[in-house]
Amino acid sequence: MRDLTIDELILALDDLLGKRGPELAKLSSGKSFRTLLSRIRGQLAALPEALRGLPRAELLRALDLNHDRRHRALSHLRQAIELWPDATAAMKRAAALLASDFVVEASETQAPYAVEAQKAEERLLKLPAAEPVLAAVSTPDGSTLVTWVRAFLEAGRTIGTTLSGRADDLATRPDGKQAGALRGTTIGLLSDLRTTVARELEADTDATLPRSLDADIFGYVDELQRLAAARASNASNVTAPAGPTNPVPPVGPNPT
Write the pLDDT tens digit of every residue in 198-239.
999 999 998 899 999 999 999 999 999 998 888 777 654 433
8 Å CB contact between 17 and 180: no
Q: State residue 17's pLDDT score.
A: 96
pLDDT digits (tens, 9 = 90+) for 141-161: 999 999 999 999 999 999 888
Q: State residue 251's pLDDT score.
A: 38
**pLDDT > 90 in the chain, percent:** 60
- Amino acid at residue number 35: T
DSSP string for 219-252: HHHHHHHHHHHHHHHHHH----PPPSSSPPPPP-
Quickly count: other Cβ atoms within 10 Å of residue 91's Cβ.
20
What gap in Å lies between CA 74 and CA 90, rounded to an integer?
A: 16
Q: State residue 255's pLDDT score.
A: 42
pTM reported for the whole predicted model:
0.52
Q: State residue 176's pLDDT score.
A: 63
Quickly count: other Cβ atoms within 10 Å of residue 197's Cβ.
24
- Residue 172 confidence (pLDDT) above 60: no
What gap in Å lies between CA 254 and CA 256, rounded to an integer?
A: 6
- Residue 102 confidence (pLDDT) above 50: yes
